[in-house]
Amino acid sequence: MYYIFYLLPLEDKILFTSESREEISGNLEYIYNELISRGKRVEIQFNFRDKKTNPPTIIKFIHLAYQCATSRFIIIDDYYPRLYKLKIKKNANFMQVWHAVGAFKQFGYARLGLPGGPTSKAVSHQNYTQVVVSSQNVVDIYAKSFGVSSDIVLPLGVARTDYFFDIGLMCKSRQDFLGKYPELKEKKIIMFAPTFRGVGQMSAYYPIEWIDLSSIYKSIKDTDYVFGIKLHPYVKDRIKIPKEMRTKIIDFSDYREINDLLIMSDKLITDYSSSIFEYSLLNRKIIFYAPDLEEYKENRSFYFNYEEFIPGNVYSDFKVVIEEMLNNDFDRDRLIKFKNSFFEYEDGKSSNRIVDYILEKIGE
């Protein structure tokens, strides 16, 4: 179908599309909003996944094929197998604005030959014309992971991190959050946000036995701290919090916006989650709890030495984590060094730079 429409001329339009999202959000939304703020200088099209109750139709597929064949820019922010065998037309652009910040756990062709990694015959990512990343320091990593030339990897910044520099938007997010949780107005939140275990969405879980709710409750019941839990969206089994503890231990796993939870948190406890990149922009303490570190290293692999890479200390004993979460001291220099390594810019203008690039290419 695509190659029938391939014969049609290109039009000055931009297609935002995703196989995993039902509506525009994340990096795509920030880029779209920046385009709109400048006036509608080009046509904009969307093609997102149908809701789970509404299977994709042939009309949806035809629309995707037509828009891909006739748009000057196709912009995605995640894995999109359906598009990877397309021959991108001359003067057309297939831009990947990857949803994650920095580089942490290995992905793509960096996992060639590893469990869950691609095979040597896999065809993924290699037809991108641009890949947008957070920093010059990760250009070669993304080039290898996507199997593309480093020349097309552009350190323009990650659009959705503009949120952390928008005081007005963060204030509104705080107001919205406290509107839902007014009892937390005078509280300080310690957010526990680990990544999932398992090989993917269908098998995702988190070992609940690794955290001791009773010990957490005893340690914070007479303080102004609240312990928040935000499990990865893939994890469907929720932590059962005893009724008597629910004023001090709160499950935020169904709260949609992780960024809102991050700005509300006084400290973050995590393990291998890429949320450490965004949270580092807030210059707050990060504690790492990874009782399965050696096993995780063996099965998943990192781009860097984990213990040296992370902007905080890692613990395998939850009792020590509890002690550490009540301690306000941390190595600020280590955090700043980490942040500077993965953010080329700290100015809240990543969306601006990306849109400048897009409009310049369309104007050529």
pLDDT (mean) for 300-304: 89
240 pLDDT above the threshold of 80: yes
Task: Give the pLDDT band of residue 364 (cuts 50, 70, 90).
Answer: low
In tens, the pLDDT along 136-172 reads 999 999 999 999 999 999 999 999 999 999 999 999 9
54 pLDDT above the threshold of 80: no
Supply the angle between the helices 318-325 and 213-220 in degrees, to the nearest 10.
Answer: 20
Residue 33 sits in a domain whose CATH number is: 3.40.50.11820
Q: Are residues 70 and 100 in the same domain?
A: yes
239 pLDDT above the threshold of 80: yes
Q: What is the pLDDT of residue 300?
A: 80
pLDDT (mean) for 259-287: 97
Concatenate the DSSP letters of all residues of 72-135 into one string. EEEEESS--GGGTT--PPTT-EEEE--SS-S--B--GGGGTTSTTPPPTT---STT-SEEE-S-
Q: What is the pLDDT of residue 80?
A: 94
Q: What is the pLDDT of residue 248?
A: 98
Q: Are residues 155 and 172 in the same domain?
A: no
Q: Are residues 77 and 136 in the same domain?
A: yes
Q: Are residues 307 and 338 in the same domain?
A: yes
Contact 216, 225 (CB under 8 A): no
Q: Are residues 260 and 198 in the same domain?
A: yes
What strand order describes the sheet that includes 71-76?
43-48, 11-18, 71-76, 93-96, 130-132, 153-154
pLDDT (mean) for 217-246: 96
Q: Are residues 124 and 253 in the same domain?
A: no
53 pLDDT above the threshold of 80: no
201 pLDDT above the threshold of 90: no
Q: Are residues 124 and 174 in the same domain?
A: no
Q: What is the pLDDT of residue 52?
A: 64
With a pLDDT cut of 90, the percent of the chain lying above it is 83
Q: Are residues 126 and 255 in the same domain?
A: no
CA distance 264 to 122: 42
pLDDT (mean) for 201-221: 95
Contact 170, 163 (CB under 8 A): yes
Q: Which of 37-41, 59-63, 290-294 has the lowest mean pLDDT?
A: 37-41
Q: Are residues 153 and 241 in the same domain?
A: no
Q: Indicate yes or no: pTM above 0.75.
A: yes
pLDDT (mean) for 270-290: 97
| Counted domains in the chain | 2
Q: Are residues 30 and 171 in the same domain?
A: no
Q: What is the pLDDT of residue 41?
A: 80
The domain of 124 spans 2-161+348-363
pLDDT (mean) for 4-18: 97
Task: Give the pLDDT band of residue 123 (cuts 50, 70, 90).
Answer: confident
Residue 296 sits in a domain whose CATH number is: 3.40.50.12580
- Which residues are CB-contacts of 357 (< 8 A; sequence separation ≥ 6)? 130, 154, 156
At 57 the three-state DSSP class reads coil
In tens, the pLDDT along 105-117 reads 898 988 887 767 7
Q: Are residues 133 and 274 in the same domain?
A: no
Q: What is the pLDDT of residue 55?
A: 67
Q: What is the pLDDT of residue 21?
A: 87
In tens, the pLDDT along 338-347 reads 999 999 999 9
CA 276 to chain centre: 10
At 30 the three-state DSSP class reads helix
CA distance 34 to 15: 15
CA distance 156 to 194: 28
Task: Give the pLDDT band of residue 200 (cuts 50, 70, 90).
Answer: confident
Q: What is the pLDDT of residue 256?
A: 78
Task: Give the pLDDT band of residue 23 (cuts 50, 70, 90).
Answer: very high
Q: Are residues 13 and 97 in the same domain?
A: yes
